[in-house]
Amino acid sequence: MATRREAREWAIQMLFQLDMNPSDDIDAAFGKFWSDKQVDTGVREFMEQLVRGVRNNLEEIDTTIKKYAANWQMDRMAIVDRNVMRMAVYEMFFCKDIPPVVSINEAVDIAKYFASNESGRFVNGILDRIRKDIDRPARSKDS
C-alpha cells in the first residue's frame, strides 16, 4: 500500500518531468505516469492534487520562493530542489490540513533522497524562512 510519502515522491517525479518537458496535456502525462503502477485511489488523488496545485499556482509559488531565496534565481536552482520547494510551498499555503512543519520535513527528506544532503539543507533554510511568515500554527493543521 502506497503512502503519502510515496505520493509526494511521485509528485516530485512528475513535477520534474513537467519542468524539463512542459506539457499542456497534464491528463495525458498522468496517464503515462500511472500506466505501470497500481496504487490506492486516495494516494493517487493526493499526488495529482499536489501536481495540479503546484501547476495552477506556479506563479504565486515561485514569487514566494524568490522572495525568500536571497541571491538565488529560480532557473539557477537544481531542478529537484526547485520542485521540492514548490510542492512544500503549495502544501503550506493551500493544504490547511497539513501542518507546515510536516510539509518542510517531508520536503527535506525527499530533497536528500533525490538529490543530496546539501539539497536538504538548502531546501530547509528557504522553507523555514517562509514558514515563519505563515499566519497559522506550524505544528498543527487548521480546523
Residue keyed to cell 506556479: 58
* Domain membership flag for residue 105: yes
Report percent pLDDT > 70 for the chain. 96
pTM, whole model, 2 decimals?
Answer: 0.93
* Domain membership flag for residue 50: yes
* Domain membership flag for residue 120: yes
Q: Do 93 and 56 contact (CB within 8 A), yes or no? A: no
Kindly tell me if the per-residue pLDDT of 2 is higher than 70: no
* Domain membership flag for residue 85: yes
pLDDT in tens, 91-125: 999 999 999 999 999 999 999 999 998 999 999 99
Count of domains observed in the chain: 1
Q: What is the pLDDT at residue 143?
A: 47
* Domain membership flag for residue 104: yes
* Domain membership flag for residue 88: yes
* Domain membership flag for residue 37: no
* Domain membership flag for residue 26: no
pLDDT in tens, 56-90: 999 999 999 999 998 899 999 999 999 999 999 99
- Domain of residue 8, residue span: 4-20+43-132
CATH value at residue 15:
1.10.940.10
Separation CA 118–CA 30 (nearest Å): 30
Contacts of 32 (CB under 8 A, 6+ apart): none
